[in-house]
Structure 1
Amino acid sequence: MRKAMVLFVGLVASVAFASEPAEGEKEDVAGYILHHVSDSRELEIEVPLYDLFGLNHIPIHLPEILVPLKAGGCQKQMTDHGEAIPSLGAGCLDLSITKHTVMMWLAAVLLIGSLLIWSNRDKAKLVPRGTAANLFEMLVLFVRDELAIKNIGKEEGPRYTSYLLTAFFFILFMNLLGLFPWMASATGNIAVTCGLALCTFVMTQVAGIRAAGLGGYLAHLTGGVHWSLWAIMIPVELLGLFTKPFALTIRLFANMLAGHIVIFFLLGLIFMLGHPAVAFVSVPFAIGIYLLELFVAFVQAYVFTMLSALFIGMGVAMGHHAHAEEHGHGEAGHSHDHGKAHMLGS
């Protein structure tokens, strides 16, 4: 709460000390919002109270790493918006460090640090000491018992708990970093959420192949119909495989990006309407959205992890169903499939 108030004191100060635009000049609020929520090749440190000294904007340029795949492939070209780096199709592999890359590294450091500091490494003590350690253990047990075991099963659930825990805390820290001054939410980048969804996609296919075997996995793509309908069912099943990571990608990206856009838009109303009195309405609303974003950060980490566990559980259930059909009984997988259907319905 203290950090939230510090952030918005800075925002109010920026409104108070902002210089009036020149006559005929209009504030580009949309461009300002897109600039702050998009990825960039520099970290920007803005100190509103130092505006009078010309130190309100301090850019930190990040390393630029360009790998030419052919001679002259990474030669920059001048455009109306400045220098443009050639694309991969033009023969240039861009491995430059960006703002969101730094945020992912910082989230990884926080994840490893939390594990080393708050995990109960003393096996002689069954109960960890301290509020933070108990909170950390509560979240770990929640992911293991309520997400992994309930959606995947008692036998296979613990096998995938480590991945689900990593995804949950990694996404949570990336979400929370965007609520601090000078930070950004890497989950507001569709490339980041796509990478996370692809990890779940790979784990889902591995779980299905491990449970059903390669033959059973490929047989599942036919939908169990007559061979004459395979030309229809196989494309449908393949499309169904990729709709799951697509849903994970868009859900996390859209929810995290929308909250930050709403906050900046509410503050931008001060400049769009051109009167400082608007701050008495827009700033309290922005504070409310900010506090809501704290809740959304946890919810979106939970939703991504829950859906990942559900998709992995469906792959495991497919293997149980295949084995049940081979042995001529379906009761073994009936209750497990019923639980999956109940989760999908909820």
Structure 2
Amino acid sequence: MICDPGNPSYGTCYIQTGFYPGELPYATTVIDGESSVLVSDYLSGLFYKFAITSLNASASYACPLGPATYLGVTWNSDEDVLYWLVNDQGTRYLVTSSSGGILISQTAISVPVGVPTISGLTWNPATGNYWTNAVQNDTYLELLSDGTFTGASFSNPEASGGGAGAFGLGLTSVLDPITGEYLLDLAVGPPSAQRTSRVVRVDETGAEEGLFFPLASINSLTGYITGIAWTENGSWGGPSDFIVDLDNNLVVEVPVPNPNAPSITTFVCTADSDDNVTLQWINPITYSSISVSRDGEVIAELGPDTEFFLDEDLDSGTHIYDVKPVPASGVDLPAATCSVVVGFGRLLGSSSHAGSTAGPSTI
């Protein structure tokens, strides 16, 4: 179904579709600096650019090696170049080009023994390395820019121990704004499907992040999915996956809004006999920073891993403390609050709190 662009839900609808004017749409990536989605033909040696705002296609561009099998493409924004995964007459190459397809370099890939086919390509800006899919081995492999493999790998989430091969084509790097970590969105399917049936988000060990969506729930994605490309700046103003449907010659924008960052929910304040207060809390994730306030005034800005603060030599009376985390995304999260009695009347001395509403008074 078509999304409400003002408030789209994660992976349950589509924003827009664009018709692919070539023959066999396959590899795809987003060039954020151009606000365009690049989709390459599988064999013809041509590619097209689609405006993110409208998914209108450009005129065709020539791929860097001309007619060949183009298995993957990804934009490296640090170098301002495209990296291509190409099979040219049986030799696999990692090719670089300008955004217009002008050849810069090509490097033969040293494919690991026992890996007959690789497909898909995405760049991780955090490591500078690349990931591809050993399709027939149900495995994703990390690749360096010199065409060699690091040895890092993880299994297709749909793989089973029964011997039948899972299915997966297309992968894309995704920035998690909560943690600042780069994850992967994979288009995968079980052995019984022999095509992709869902998009699942994993980290670089293959551990699932709890975010996925079934392709069957999106009316326009009924065909054979060959490519996927993520951007944090979709046409609706937030993150989207652009998915390539080969059977129907479509490029489809699916919104994948960022989940809300969790706030601090466990926070305890304790006063001692020297009129000091110890604050202790648990960070459910790694934040960018943590702000500590006493009685409405900020008294400390702490680093991301801190879960303790000592406030010393206080005046007698009741004090209210807030700890407010700031996630990598910068979104506004509620503060955790507790109150504590310092000096006379300090017999109980502490209260704990979960959430953004003050806990019980200790007076």
- TM-score, normalized by length of structure 2? 0.23
Q: Greater strand percent: which structure?
A: 2
